Amino acid sequence: MRPFLALLRRDLGLAFRHGAETLLGAIFFTLALSLFPLGVGASADILARIGAGVIWVLALFAVLLTLERLYQSDYEDGSLELMVLAPVPLELLVFAKCLAHWLTSGLLLVAMSPLLALLMALPAEAYWVLPAALLLGTPTLTLIGSIGAALLVGSRRGSALTALLVLPLYIPVLIFGVSAVDGYLMGLGGGAQMGILGAMLLFAMALAPPATAAALRVALE
């Protein structure tokens, strides 16, 4: 457990020290959202109709944008090699890195989502439904993205290929995330979709660390 906490503390420390870079995802999240009222018209009923979907899609992109910092810099300065060689399960270290990544990317999006719901003129219920759904969904995005980031460590082409690898795997989270929020907002209830989001999170927690670890071992062979 000590290496886990040490790595978590190191990654969080690095993220705080590179404050602007860490906030980039959250800034993108807000900035991109503000384009939609300009693009589709600012009438409240249109915005409320598409609000949940737009916010979820932007959350996907915001997480995607920050994936590259997950392993690439560790690969370049050699610390990734030490993690692979360490006498600690690599899966555990991967999990620590994902947790640190989520705390500095996904959690920010969760915290900001009520504000975005306000900007998209969503009904008051969305102020708790949207963060709740994102709280269950964004860790899954980090975990799935970690596989894609690890597969591409050290490759010649970066982010465009990450999107091609990761976005198809994000689609289930998007579908159930949006339908959970829309379900609550339309008064149909979204408990089942929330349950599926939770199930996907558990699946990702079980499967993503070993897959990521395998990908990192291949990268450093």
Partner 1 sequence: MHGYANPLRFQRIADAVLPWVAVALLVLTPIGLYQALVLAPPDYQQGEAARIMYVHVPAAWLATFTYALIAIASVVALVWRHPLAEVAARAAAPVGAAFTAIALVTGSVWGKPMWGTWWVWDARLTSVLILFFLYLGYIALHDAFEDPARGARAASILALVGAVNLPIIKFSVDWWNTLHQPSSILRLDGPTIAPSMLWPLLTMVVVFKLYLVLVLILRMRGQLAQRQIHNLRARGAAGAGV
* Closest listed residue to residue 212, CA positions, set 163, 144, 138: 144
Phi, psi of 8 (to 5 degrees): -60, -45
218 binds partner 1 (CB under 8 A): yes
140 Cβ contact partners less than 8 Å away, ≥ 6 residues apart? 173, 197, 200, 201, 204
Interface positions, 113-172, toward partner 1 (CB under 8 A): 147, 151-152, 154-157, 161, 164-165, 167-169, 171-172
Smallest distance, Å, CB 178 to partner 1? 12
**Please, which of residues 164-183 interact with partner 1 by CB under 8 A?**
164-165, 167-169, 171-172
- Taking the C-alpha atoms of residue 145 and residue 190, their distance in angstroms, rounded to an integer, is 25
Q: Does residue 215 interact with partner 1 by CB under 8 A?
A: yes
Cβ distance to partner 1 smaller for residue 67 or 110: 67
Nearer to partner 1, 26 or 150 (CB): 150
Q: Identify whether the C-beta of residue 139 lies closer than 8 Å to the C-beta of residue 106.
A: yes
> Which residue's CB is nearer to partner 1, number 14 or number 161?
161
Neighbours of 86 (CB within 10 A): 13
Site residues (CB under 8 A) for partner 1? 147, 151-152, 154-157, 161, 164-165, 167-169, 171-172, 207, 211, 214-215, 218-219, 221
